[in-house]
Amino acid sequence: MNLEKVRNIGISAHIDSGKTTLSERILFYAGRIHKIEDVRGGGDGATMDHMELEKERGITITSAATSLKWNHLGEEYNVNLIDTPGHVDFTVEVERSLRVLDGAVLVLCSVGGVQSQSITVDRQMKRYKIPRLAFINKMDRTGADPFRGLRELKEKLQADAFLMQLPIGREDNFKGVVDLIERKAYYFDGDNGEILRIEEPPAEMADEIEETRLAMLEALSMYSDDMMEKMLSEEEISVELIYEVARKAVHAGATPVYMGSAYKNKGVQPLLDAVARYLTSPLDREIHGIDPKDETKQIPLTPDPNEPFVGMAFKIVDDEYGQLTYMRIYQGTCEKGGSYINQRTGKKERFSRLVRMHSNKREEIDSAGAGDIIAVMGIDCASGDAYAPERNFCTLESMFVPEPVIKISVTPTSRAEADKMGKALQRFRKEDPTFRVETDEESGEVLISGMGELHLDVYVERMRREYGVSVEVGAPKVSYREAPTKHVDFDHKFKKQTGGSGQFAHIKGSIEPIESDSEDSFEFEDKVVQGRIPKQYIPAVEKGFRDSLIKGPVAEFPVVGTRVTLTDGAYHDVDSSEKSFHTCARECFREYFKKASPVLLEPIMQVELECPESFQGAVVGDVTGRRGMITNTDIREGVSYISAEVPLAETFGYATDLRSMTQGQGTFTMELCKYAKVPGNIQEDIVNEKKNAQLVGSK
């Protein structure tokens, strides 16, 4: 396989921008499917949304992979494509897909522009340094404006974005696009836009074309001295040079902007040509593994099929045939029936079957080489595990997994159901790193936590359908945090004498708040001098403090934003031990943390609302009533766009309330924004509620 002609790409965007519709058209034009289905309404549903739940709700829940071939300028390109969910509740699906891809298409709605999830996806693309193209979709909608989309890409995402096309007409009148490099008009004929008709652009667009083309050339000239010189001396720039510089610019982080309407079958083929022409192949990416024997040392991985095999399991799906592991191969070749070692567990495992995925359909293959994305059957591993031919060969940087923000209790209706529920939860937890399962020590309830109401809703529904488990769902619980607000010095002695050798430890230092973006922030500083506490006991002191963070003294929520500094202490030659210093630190934390005026922190969600202008007053009033703070409002074409920060505790059941307030026309999305201090009166209610629950539990 010629790796220069391989593209591993993802399609990511804000919810409802048309990603799955675009994927469906791409598959159709590449000849991978022979009939177009729609995401919503009738038919068999979109190819990439293969779960029953996805078809019913018209949303993407799991990322689906497929591969296709695209003919560009007479050469065949192999494209591995992953369609990712837009909803922030399934953000880990986007995260793990981008972790293993070489390029991406960021889809924007021509009316909505850059929305909240577009910002999240942009952050994820930057985290993994993914080159990308932007596609402004839904150009046939009322209020379509590609120039606003371009402006917002620059302002909100600080992207170096420039138009590569201009629309011929807009809204109902959208007919096609003009390619600015070649100055040619593209029209999409035939029943499904499959016939590409190339003509001279409309004469009345001549000035606009030249003006926009100049802006494109100016943006590109920043990536090429040769082009910059030609621009300054006003020489004609050859089309070949523009193509060459555009490819270089994309690899360096620029964002060329394309446009069309996937639903109306316009603009998709030129986008595929751009994917082939500009996006990176596995040969263009620098990938490094980590040496397990020395984690500071990096091992360069080359996409060479003859080197030792290195692959990463990035997504796991359990189905009736067993575990299916999606794998990206970074180096070497893996064979069907070959045995490779899981770098995390050290276990040797046999790759009994290799398959190429097309949504949920499988095609058997005998081997796969560097740069490929395939699925392996019959191995037992976790998301993020690396495989290689020998032990301690190479590990790969794991992906970022956000912390869950919402909990609900699930109780099976009978003993027989409990086993089935256990199996379902174990499978879901393995598949999804943001889905957590725990048992409440006091009440014995099983608690599941995730990224939002929809996320947990989908898992409860899947338990009912896939495992036939009927469960009762408890009210949602918010994951609060506790944090200190002032500096406190501590001086704590632990002494215990019970015949024979006793226990003794003495520590001095301070507890203080720290500002940090991270949720689980805790810092420990050892400033003990002259061996006042022997070095071997210091880790035990740190562990004692860390173990105390799991339940804070205010209402038994995890403690964050804390720094402990150990400055002095004392020990006893006979009676001191690691255990005594560990216990001393735990006792000290319980006693002194209360003096640091601890407060509760609650998750605040960034909420983006859309509703008809006539309902704006009611919606804004309701948000304010939920302790929300409006950060921005905008009215376009009779639609009101509202951004707000609202405490998670106040958002439960909001979807239903918003629908009834706006006669079913309002929509919203939300994602975690930050943790902020809970108002005093509400903190009191939370603490009392927790105490009452404990009293009930102890009876």
- The whole-angstrom separation of Cα 133 and Cα 274 is 8
| Cβ atoms of residues 496 and 503 within 8 Å | yes
- On whether 520 is known to bind a ligand per the annotation, the reply is no
User: Sign of the C-alpha dihedral, residues 671, 672, 673, 677?
Assistant: positive
- On whether 19 is known to bind a ligand per the annotation, the reply is yes
Strands 386-388 and 310-319 turn out to be antiparallel
Q: Where are the beta strands (DSSP E) in 465-597?
A: 471-473, 477-478, 481-483, 488-496, 503-513, 522-526, 562-570
Scored b (16 or more CB within 10 A) or e, 349-381 reads bebebbbbbbbbebeeeeebbbbbbbbbbebeb
Nearest alpha-carbon partner for 654 in 673, 633, 676, 627: 627
- On whether 137 is known to bind a ligand per the annotation, the reply is yes
672: helix, strand or coil: strand
- On whether 14 is known to bind a ligand per the annotation, the reply is yes
- On whether 261 is known to bind a ligand per the annotation, the reply is no
- The whole-angstrom separation of Cα 255 and Cα 180 is 15
- On whether 138 is known to bind a ligand per the annotation, the reply is yes
| Cβ atoms of residues 567 and 527 within 8 Å | yes
Nearest alpha-carbon partner for 316 in 229, 430, 192: 430
- On whether 207 is known to bind a ligand per the annotation, the reply is no
- The whole-angstrom separation of Cα 609 and Cα 3 is 44
Q: Please report, for residues 156, 183, 271, the alpha-carbon distance to residue 117 in angstroms, rounded to integers and kept in the order given.
A: 12, 34, 22
- On whether 85 is known to bind a ligand per the annotation, the reply is yes
Q: Please report, for residues 509, 538, 655, the alpha-carbon distance to residue 525 in angstroms, rounded to integers and kept in the order given.
A: 10, 10, 46
- On whether 13 is known to bind a ligand per the annotation, the reply is yes
Helices marked H in 37-168 — which ranges?
A: 52-57, 91-100, 116-127, 146-157
Q: What is the 3-state secondary structure (H, E, C) of 51-81?
A: CHHHHHHCCCCCCEEEEEEEEECCEEEEEEE
- On whether 140 is known to bind a ligand per the annotation, the reply is yes
- On whether 319 is known to bind a ligand per the annotation, the reply is no
- The whole-angstrom separation of Cα 446 and Cα 124 is 32
Q: Please report, for residues 93, 378, 435, 436, the alpha-carbon distance to residue 401 in angstroms, rounded to integers and kept in the order given.
A: 10, 25, 10, 12
List of residues 6+ apart from 187 with CB closer than 8 A:
168, 175, 176, 196, 197, 198, 199
Residue with tokens 């074409």: 637
| Cβ atoms of residues 430 and 318 within 8 Å | yes
- On whether 18 is known to bind a ligand per the annotation, the reply is yes
- The whole-angstrom separation of Cα 310 and Cα 393 is 9
Cα dihedral 63/66/68/72 (nearest 10): 20
- On whether 16 is known to bind a ligand per the annotation, the reply is yes
Which residues sit in the known binding site?
Answer: 13-20, 83-87, 137-140
Which residues sit in the known binding site for GTP?
Answer: 13-20, 83-87, 137-140
